[in-house]
Amino acid sequence: MSYTLQDVDTVTIQVLVDNELDPISKSQNPAVVDATAFRLRELPAGERGPAAMEMRMEDICCGAHGLSLLITATAGSTSHTLLFDAGPEEDVFEKNVTRSRADLSAVEHVHLSHWHRDHSGGLPRAIRMINAARTADGGLDKPTADVHPDRPIYRGFNAGPFIASLEADPTFEELEEAGAQVARRDDTHAVLEDMFLVSGEVPRKTAYEVGFPRGMRFTGEGKWVPDELIRDERFVVCKLKRKGLVVFAGCSHPGIVNICTHALAIGGGAPLYAVIGGFHLADGDAAKLEASIQGLQDLKPQILMPGHCTGWRFKFKIEQEIPGALVPCFSGTKYTLAGEGVGEAPA
Ligand SMILES: [Fe+2]
């Protein structure tokens, strides 16, 4: 089934947490993707001669193994903001929000891509901070926490001689206690005035995207069972005016090509424009990387913004094989994508 998404004029992505940071490298194509990372503070007049601003190290965000994106879409005078995942640790989330001076008061919707701690660990404090900012901003509604209903008690992986468990994800009750309205959803649904579409389960079509090999879950009866597909992973997509779909992927356990293929299937006939998030190819072999780059090329994205679990080899491959498309996703950097004709004077 296909859905009608509202055309948006701009999409701003403030990366609150990613594995990597690089505040120095410039955008390769600032006309297409504006990227800013450094924040400067004003210096009192005359304190250091004619110097007007100071760059402080404590204003630079930290990297951490996980992902959190603050996404704002605008259409005319309307804008909506969605938090996509909250990174691995509450302290990291809070530190980077403070360092980047991110405004959480506009966050109406919190999306969890899947139940893995590197995406969910920061959620309780993120929700508390959003509520505090919204209360200070005039008592706005609680944010919705949009999560898949199938939360494993624990997830982990088979490391050969032993099973390694992750820490538990926050429970539904903990998210409610933090101040969210919890929505347990496994269906495809539009949110925030149809500016964003949240996917349901991603159909697995390619032969080379086989989930999270050796993934396991704890059943609660003392047993661990295979759980390689991570069926609860859901992506988010929006539609940039006259450019196409912007896809947000958490970890791409269903496969980045399967995710983009499904985004095209549900995205109302728009072409694929940009893909941002974790492509989960850091542990892929050479054949999988090759098949994935070919699969992406066939879908003709204009911009690829890999982060988190993508791995440096696949980023390098994008740069080599799809020149001009790579915009790495870095912790603390704010990226702006604009629709075609946006900001131009009417003819
Ligand atoms: Fe992840």
In the reported structure, the alpha carbon of residue 62 is separated from the centroid of ligand 1 by a whole-number distance in angstroms of 17
In the reported structure, the alpha carbon of residue 19 is separated from the centroid of ligand 1 by a whole-number distance in angstroms of 10
In the reported structure, the alpha carbon of residue 310 is separated from the centroid of ligand 1 by a whole-number distance in angstroms of 9
In the reported structure, the alpha carbon of residue 251 is separated from the centroid of ligand 1 by a whole-number distance in angstroms of 4
In the reported structure, the alpha carbon of residue 308 is separated from the centroid of ligand 1 by a whole-number distance in angstroms of 7
In the reported structure, the alpha carbon of residue 319 is separated from the centroid of ligand 1 by a whole-number distance in angstroms of 22
In the reported structure, the alpha carbon of residue 119 is separated from the centroid of ligand 1 by a whole-number distance in angstroms of 6
For 7-36+55-151+181-211+231-338, give the CATH class.
alpha beta
In the reported structure, the alpha carbon of residue 116 is separated from the centroid of ligand 1 by a whole-number distance in angstroms of 7
In the reported structure, the alpha carbon of residue 347 is separated from the centroid of ligand 1 by a whole-number distance in angstroms of 45
Per-residue pLDDT of the chain (347 residues; tens, 9 = 90+): 888 899 999 999 999 999 999 999 988 888 788 888 888 999 999 999 999 999 999 999 999 999 999 999 999 999 999 999 999 999 999 999 999 999 999 999 999 999 999 999 999 999 999 999 998 878 789 999 999 999 999 999 999 999 999 999 999 999 999 999 999 999 999 999 999 999 999 999 999 999 999 999 999 899 999 999 999 999 999 999 999 999 999 999 999 999 999 999 999 999 999 999 999 999 999 999 999 999 999 999 999 999 999 999 999 999 999 999 999 999 999 999 999 888 665 54
In the reported structure, the alpha carbon of residue 233 is separated from the centroid of ligand 1 by a whole-number distance in angstroms of 10
In the reported structure, the alpha carbon of residue 290 is separated from the centroid of ligand 1 by a whole-number distance in angstroms of 21
Ion ligand 1 neighbours (CB, 5 A) are 118, 251
In the reported structure, the alpha carbon of residue 122 is separated from the centroid of ligand 1 by a whole-number distance in angstroms of 13
Check residue 29 and give its pLDDT. 81
In the reported structure, the alpha carbon of residue 343 is separated from the centroid of ligand 1 by a whole-number distance in angstroms of 35
The full 3-state SS of the chain, as one line of letters, equals CCCCCCEECEEEEEEEECCCCCCCCCCCCCCCEEEECCCCEECCCEEEEECCEECCHHHCCCCCCCCEEEEEEEECCEEEEEEECCCCCHHHHHHHHHHHCCCCCCEEEEECCCCCHHHHCCHHHHHHHHHHHHHHCCCCCCCEEEECCCCCCEEEEECCCCEEECCCCCCHHHHHHHCCEEEECCCCEEECCCCEEECCCCCCCCCCCCCCCCEEEECCCCCEEECCCCCCCCCEEEEECCCEEEEEECCCCCCHHHHHHHHHHHCCCCCEEEEEEECCCCCCCHHHHHHHHHHHHHHCCCEEEEECCCCHHHHHHHHHHCCCCECCCCCCCEEEEECCCCCCCCC
In the reported structure, the alpha carbon of residue 340 is separated from the centroid of ligand 1 by a whole-number distance in angstroms of 32
* Domain ranges within the chain, ordered by starting residue: 7-36+55-151+181-211+231-338
